[in-house]
Structure 1
Amino acid sequence: MADRTAYARTPQVSSREARSRPPGGRWRRAAVALAVAAVALLSVGVAAPAHADTDDFTFDSFHADMTLVRGADQHAQLLVTETIVARFPEDEEQNRGIIRAIPDDYDGVPLETEVTSVTDEDGDPVPYELSTDDGFLEVATGDDSFVFGAQTYVISYSQRDTIRAIEETASDEFQRDINGTGWDQPFGEVSTTLTMDPELADALTGNAACYIGREWSTEQCDIETSTENGSVVFRASGVDLGAEENLTIAIGFEPGTFVPGEVERNVIEQFAFDATPVVRGASVAAIVLSVVVAIGAIVGRRRGRDAPGRGVIVPQFDPPADVSVMQAAHLIARKGQAVPAALVDLAVSGHVRLLDDESSKGVVLQYVRPSDDAARQDVLVALFGEDAEVGARKKIDAAAQALAGRLGKRSDAARDSLREAGLTEKPDHRVASFAIYAGLGVVVLALVCVLLGVLGRTGWWGGGVAIVAGLLALTLAVSLWRYRDRVTDRGALVRDHLVGLRDYLALAEKDRLRVLQSPQGAERIDTGDPLQVVHLYEELLPYAILWGVEKEWAEVLEVRVREAGVQPTWYDGSSSFSSLQFLTMYGALRSGASASAAAWAGSGGGSYTGGSMGGGFSGMGSGGGGGGGR
């Protein structure tokens, strides 16, 4: 499509135009753009004199009268007369005429545009100059005299090879952009009359369509057909077209009606065109490989999934043995809760006290005693150091960056220790890795196919489909990659125990007591002793945090504390223990412990996360182009 250009001598081009133009033109445009940018930078702060914008005018009408014939060589010959009525400011010396940019290239086929005359409405000659710019023939009308009000320009020219052979519809098509999408000015009316040579009447398929609007618009307009003196005549029009809006017509012919023009290609483009059969085969292969990659990604994910465990979850009322709170967090993929739960665990186990810091929004941890449990002692050392004294305090708030880093390292160590204990193992990434690397290869192959298709102007859609398929398969492979360790059969038993503990935490109180009164629970917990129940519920508070039910569990604990008539020794608030005050302190504790999430997130990672038949659009054809004021 050769329809995007704007002027003050600097055309804007569409994607199709960019493909059809020689590389040298693109480099020249880049150099001009850089030069303009440099001048703009140098002139910052310097006031420029005010000038009228030569594009600040409108068009009353644009009418193209066209005649299509078949030459002696069977190539298409098109005679065009454009009558353009521009309306300039009446009282301002702004314009000397217009610039009409006529595309001289149609998908790589030279149109051999020849301007025969430029006149006014009375047939009197209008001065004009011709120049070429990157595939366009520019007609600059007028001289040094300013023009005012309504001005008519009648531009006559000829072109050849304006027909395309459409493989999808097995037909030849005359696709023509009438005014083009490269104008910054509105048009009151755009119309066209296309007259066929009588010998072409029998070659018409009967398919004809009209499109209106901006480039790629599929809005259709009416096209009229009539027979006059043996010639078939097509008429179409549109009113009130805005800037960059265009009228396009498409007429269908039987295949082989015209001899197509030859595409001009450089060495690289010719190589790409000659490689078309290979490109098409490679595109299909890339699509098939994308399916293989997707299957590989799914298989790789299944091979790295966690051990299934027993399959039956039984509510558990006590934490699993020989697994720390931090280890439990990683085992159930809740690593973000590892540090906050571990700090609460230190408190409920009697090693620190939680103190409400009324002077700020932070929480103070007070050192009470060391721990015989190695995992808890490691966290205590991270908090208070090796030689902590009883009563030592550590404030946890958003400024505790270094502390957050130390606690994060303890969390990473807990994750790694699960592997050492045989509870987790590194997943088998061989199939998943193959899927990712193969997906990258498919995307590269598809990109090469698209690039060669564009350079060769083959119009092959398979490369685009291959890119989409390859990207989808690669995305699937990356998203299904197993970033954390795989839970082993042994680890699955512990994980199931933790899931059973979660189910216990979610039980109603009467159901929870029923579990405690079971043979296993009755041996260890006297439900008639409120103090024992309080201690049990305190012990489970860190695990409620792991599962995200700390609010509900704190409320349960509050009820039990009130029934027992005691206060937790690990908690020192401004009043007696309440779930609301604890949750406020816990929120500050979690915020402070996560002060530098990036510092302690660890290396474990997270989730990585055919025109004449009605299928065309405005701007699809030859001609058109655009222009502006002079």
Structure 2
Amino acid sequence: MTDSSPILVVAVVAACLAALLLGLAIGARVRVGRLPRSLVVEYAPRRGASVMGDAVLAGQDRRAASAALLELATTRKVRLIADASSGKRATVAAEIVDDAALTARDLALLEALFGTGHPNHRVRRFSRDARVVGRRIRTLVAWTVDELTRAGLVAGVSSARQVLRSFSWLALVAICIVLLATLVAGAGAPTVIAGVALAVIIAALSVIPSGRSRRFTAAARPWREHLDGLRQYMRLAEADRIRALQAPQTAELLDVPADVQATLGTRAGRFRLHERLLPYAVLFGIEREWLRDLKLDYAELDAASLANLGDALELAHSLFLVADAIGELGELTFAVGDLVDASGGVLEAAGEVFGAIGDLAP
């Protein structure tokens, strides 16, 4: 049957609409995590910052909990242990280190990940229901956003993504109707065009970022520029990182932990610094590259450097095993199995922790 001109026009219009929405969806995806450009590199988080707060400021909410759990490991508050004995996907046990000084924020994270299974608030086995865990994490992130809002760093949210998502769903319905009409009419070319339009609009819906984008205040710009400077440093080659550490225009030493400052000019000191940046590698989505570099640095350490590392050796080894076992540190929170204290018992959580998160803001 000969293709009718009206049906062809409608199919072409549908394809153009789908292409436009896909372009807008790609633009929205690209803007996720975009930070204002920093003129200098930074090699430590900003003083007073938290990983959860920085994740929100960087638009990386989905990686916030994994990065924060890794921070507990790199600051020796918990020990991560991989368990692949089941033969299925490996799980990770989180062991509380003796005398660990857990803050309200730390306890809130642990409760979000492990829940409270009993009235006495003992933290029990991690829920295998990703929806339950995801809901807890979203609640924790929402409280972090509230703290940042009260601190004057977040101005609110934009509805642009929601509008784009709604238009895309409407376009999907319309294109399905057009495709059905072309099939009924037996129009060859319009059917092909409508089919392509359907595939494009489905792609657009999959590309649109979840949630809503945030508006940041002018006061948040220095924090976000600092994050960009840190990301720049972490993407440099090793030789360039060493030069950055020696350059006077880079981050102040005050932002570096005291135990790292003392050995910053040595290979062991740089290793400890880079190990502590692993949570930010997860936050920026470069954990694979960062772990590869850490492993290479670890292999090149001499006997004196290994002696200077002390307990960092055990931490590095456990982190490497965990990364190899689960394959993707960004999914760490969904690989956690149990939370125990150093004696093997379950953690005694501190009551209603979520009501006492006063220090979540950077």
Scaled to the shorter chain, the TM-score interval is 0.5 to 0.7
Aligned to 2:108: 378
Q: Determine whether 1:315 maps to 2:21.
A: no
| Partner-residue secondary structure (3-state), 2:231 | helix
For 1:467, which of 189, 194, 198 is the aligned residue?
Answer: 194
**How many angstroms apart in 2 are the aligned matches of 1:501 and 1:561?**
30
User: After superposition, where does 1:290-329 map in structure 2 within 5 Å?
Assistant: 290-299=15-24, 302=27, 305-306=31-32, 309-312=35-38, 314-321=40-47, 323-329=49-55
Aligned to 2:297: 556
8 Å Cα contact 2:43-2:245 kept in structure 1: yes
Write the deviation string for residues 329-360 of structure 1: whole angstroms up to 9, x where unpaired: 56657666544433331133232345688999
Q: 1:497 to 1:290 in 2, by over 3 A?
A: same
| Partner-residue secondary structure (3-state), 1:482 | coil
Q: Determine whether 1:536 maps to 2:273.
A: yes
**How many angstroms apart in 2 are the aligned matches of 1:587 and 1:501?**
25
User: After superposition, where does 1:202-601 map in structure 2 within 5 Å?
Assistant: 280-299=5-24, 302=27, 305-306=31-32, 309-312=35-38, 314-321=40-47, 323-329=49-55, 337-354=63-80, 363-369=93-99, 371=101, 373-382=103-112, 400-401=126-127, 408-417=134-143, 419-420=145-146, 421=148, 422=154, 425-428=157-160, 429-451=162-184, 453-454=185-186, 460-461=187-188, 463-486=190-213, 488-490=215-217, 494-519=223-248, 521=251, 523-524=253-254, 525-526=261-262, 527-528=264-265, 536-546=273-283, 547-548=286-287, 549-556=290-297, 559=301, 562-563=304-305, 565-569=307-311, 577=314, 579=316, 582-588=319-325, 593-595=333-335
| Partner-residue secondary structure (3-state), 2:109 | helix
1:552 to partner: Cα distance = 1.7
Q: 1:318 to 1:486 in 2, by over 3 A?
A: same
Name the structure where strand makes up a greater proportion of residues. Answer: 1
Q: 1:442 to 1:316 in 2, by over 3 A?
A: same
8 Å Cα contact 1:401-1:595 kept in structure 2: no
Write the deviation string for residues 167-214 of structure 1: whole angstroms up to 9, x where unpaired: 98xxxxxxxxxxxxxxxxxxxxxxxxxxxxxxxxxxxxxxxxxxxxxx
1:315 to partner: Cα distance = 2.0
**How many angstroms apart in 2 are the aligned matches of 1:404 and 1:560?**
43
Q: CA RMSD in A?
A: 4.7
| Partner-residue secondary structure (3-state), 2:240 | helix
| Partner-residue secondary structure (3-state), 1:319 | coil
1:437 to partner: Cα distance = 0.9
Paired AA for residue 325 in structure 1: V
Identity %: 23
Aligned to 2:358: none
8 Å Cα contact 1:345-1:539 kept in structure 2: yes
1:319 to partner: Cα distance = 1.6
Higher relative contact order (CA 8 A, sep 6+): 2
8 Å Cα contact 2:78-2:97 kept in structure 1: yes
**How many angstroms apart in 2 are the aligned matches of 1:284 and 1:588?**
54
Q: 1:338 to 1:359 in 2, by over 3 A?
A: same
Q: 1:522 to 1:450 in 2, by over 3 A?
A: closer
Q: Which runs of 5+ in 2 are unaligned?
A: 117-121, 149-153, 255-260, 338-362
8 Å Cα contact 1:283-1:463 kept in structure 2: yes
**How many angstroms apart in 2 are the aligned matches of 1:383 and 1:482?**
23
Q: 1:517 to 1:410 in 2, by over 3 A?
A: farther
| The 10-residue stretch of structure 1 (486-495 or 537-546) with the greater mean CA deviation from structure 2 | 486-495
Q: Say how many residue pairs are matched.
A: 302
1:298 to partner: Cα distance = 2.8
8 Å Cα contact 2:18-2:171 kept in structure 1: yes
Q: 1:280 to 1:325 in 2, by over 3 A?
A: same
1:419 to partner: Cα distance = 4.4
1:365 to partner: Cα distance = 0.9
Paired AA for residue 231 in structure 2: R
8 Å Cα contact 2:52-2:65 kept in structure 1: yes
**How many angstroms apart in 1 are the aligned matches of 2:25 and 2:237?**
41
Paired AA for residue 378 in structure 1: A
1:509 to partner: Cα distance = 4.6
Task: Report the structure number with the largest CA radius of gyration.
Answer: 1
8 Å Cα contact 1:515-1:521 kept in structure 2: no
**How many angstroms apart in 2 are the aligned matches of 1:469 and 1:356?**
45
Paired AA for residue 109 in structure 2: V
**How many angstroms apart in 1 are the aligned matches of 2:208 and 2:63?**
23
1:502 to partner: Cα distance = 3.3
Paired AA for residue 276 in structure 2: E
1:586 to partner: Cα distance = 4.3
**How many angstroms apart in 1 are the aligned matches of 2:278 and 2:302?**
13
**How many angstroms apart in 2 are the aligned matches of 1:351 and 1:538?**
15
